[in-house]
Amino acid sequence: MNTVHNMFSNASAVQGLRDGGYGDADFDIEVAPLTYEARTDEYECYEITERMYSSKSVIYRTDTGGELGIHGHGYKPVAPKKMIDGTRNILERSDLNTVGLTEQIRTSHDGARCFVLHNLPAHTYETGDGDRASLSLLSTSSFDGTWPFMISVAAVQSACTNLQVFISGEVAIYKAKHTQSLDIEHGANIIVKSLDVFNNERELWKAWQGTQVRDMEAFYFFADALDVKLDSKSFSHSYSPADLLHKLPRRNENLNYIWRVYDAVYRNRLGANWWAVYNAMTDWSTHFGAVRQSSERNIASIQNERQQVIRKAIKSEPALRLAA
Residue 2 above 50 pLDDT?
no
Return the percentage of the chain with pLDDT > 70, whole number.
72
Q: DSSP labels for 167-181?
A: -SS-SEEEEE-TTS-
Residues contacting residue 133 through CB under 8 Å, at least 6 positions apart: 124, 125, 127, 155, 156, 157, 158, 164, 202
Whether the CB-CB separation of 245 and 260 falls below 8 Å is answered with no
Give CA–CA dist 205/219, Å, rounded.
20
Q: Which amino acid is at 135?
A: L
Nearest to 22 by CA among 164, 139, 123: 139
The predicted model scores a pTM of: 0.70
Residues with Cβ within 8 Å of 163's Cβ and at least 6 positions away in sequence, in order, are 117, 136, 138, 154, 155, 156, 282, 285, 286, 303, 307
Contact (Cβ atoms closer than 8 angstroms) between residue 170 and residue 120: no
Quick: pLDDT tens for 221-259.
Answer: 888 888 887 765 555 556 788 777 777 766 678 888 889
214 alpha-carbon distance from chain centroid: 29
- pLDDT number for residue 285: 80
- Checking if the pLDDT of 60 tops 90, the result is yes
Per-residue pLDDT tens for 163-181? 655 544 444 566 666 655 6
Rounded-to-integer distance, Cα 168 and Cα 190, Å: 17
